[in-house]
Structure 1
Amino acid sequence: CHKIWEDDDFLAFLSIFPNTEGFTLLITKEHHDSYIFNLEDDLLHKFILAAKHIAKLLDTKLDDVSRTGLIFESSGIDHAHIKLIPMHGTSNISKWKPTTTYLDKYFKKYEGYLSSHESLRKDDKELEKTAKKIRLQ
């Protein structure tokens, strides 16, 4: 593997199937279920701190990057992993400003990838129906 960092608990390496330069995988050295929200809280906390460290490496070592995205997708392999994706073209951001992408694409089921794009405005009645389904009563 093309290792970029490791400690006693975690290993970070470059993806061999990147969709952008520096796409990194952070994994636990011990086997854990791929759904990281099943991890014990102390391990999850350490995992997030390790991801923060890797994100800062990517932000400082890649010329046009000052932000890194993070995905806990829990697919592809059955082993706890975090995907860190450098956001190229963000190094010239001197003051935060919103960046949005609107696509007329709404997912009714998981298609093998996650997307953070915004879609069309959802009707408030539909949103309330979903909120009622999710929230604690």
Structure 2
Amino acid sequence: MSLDGRYDADNIFAKIIRGEIPSVKVFEDDKVLAFMDVFPQSRGHALVISKTSQARNILEIEPQALAEVAVAAQKLAKAVVAALKPDGVVVTQFNGAPAGQTVFHLHVHVIPRYEGAELGRHGAGGMADVEELKALAEKISAAL
């Protein structure tokens, strides 16, 4: 998908927001949702999305919604670092399919990095064990 197009209200993140598809939540409020990535690149990989914006990418999102997502991404990154003690953390966001975007609802990845551990390929790894994701989400939530 190019950078131009229409928002698909049936994308997986929109369905998660509406409660049509389950997710392993880390935290949420009326503006944002943070949840575990089911195809993690690293142990503790989580995502932040806006619950109010239908922006597909950073070029479309309203400034206030972007600010809310950015603040939530920082909150999530701090909690991931406190809970999981990684050696580093990647905070990233993709825009358009050629850039690696696979779900066209703006989202920010928070990916812990561990010395000596390879980073999985974005969207290409196997699906994580849901019970493990729940345990990680609990640890991260407790660090908020």
TM-score by length of 1: 0.59
Is contact 1:60-1:66 (8 Å) kept? Answer: no
2:33 alignment partner, SS class: strand
Q: CA offset at residue 33 of structure 1?
A: 2.1
Q: Please name the residue that 1:83 is paired with.
A: 109
Ranges in structure 1 where 5+ consecutive residues have no aligned partner: 90-111, 114-137
Q: Equivalents in 2 of 1:66, 1:6: separation in Å? A: 26
Ranges in structure 2 where 5+ consecutive residues have no aligned partner: 1-22, 96-100, 116-120, 123-144
The 3 A distance-change label for structure 1 pair 51 and 40 is: same
2:54 alignment partner, SS class: coil
> Structure 2: which amino acid aligns with 1:61?
A
- Work out the percentage of aligned pairs sharing the same amino acid: 28
Q: Please name the residue that 1:72 is paired with.
A: 93
Structure 1 runs (4+) greater than 3 angstroms displaced: none
Q: Please name the residue that 1:60 is paired with.
A: 82
Q: CA offset at residue 30 of structure 1?
A: 2.7
Question: Comparing both structures, which one devotes a greater share of its residues to helix?
Answer: 2
Q: Is the radius of gyration larger for structure 1 or structure 2?
A: 1
> Structure 2: which amino acid aligns with 1:79?
H
Q: Please name the residue that 1:50 is paired with.
A: 72
> Structure 2: which amino acid aligns with 1:87?
R
Alignment of 1:102-113 (within 5 A): none
Structure 1 residue 35 corresponds to structure 2 residue 61: no
Q: Equivalents in 2 of 1:48, 1:77: separation in Å? A: 18
Q: Equivalents in 2 of 1:82, 1:24: separation in Å? A: 8
Q: Equivalents in 2 of 1:13, 1:60: separation in Å? A: 17
Count of aligned positions: 91
Q: CA offset at residue 72 of structure 1?
A: 1.1
Which of the pair has the greater relative contact order for Cα pairs under 8 Å at 6+ separation? 2
Q: CA offset at residue 50 of structure 1?
A: 0.8
Q: CA RMSD in A?
A: 2.1
> Structure 1: which amino acid aligns with 2:57?
Y
Q: Equivalents in 1 of 2:87, 2:27: separation in Å? A: 19
Q: Please name the residue that 2:132 is paired with.
A: none
Structure 1 residue 5 corresponds to structure 2 residue 27: yes
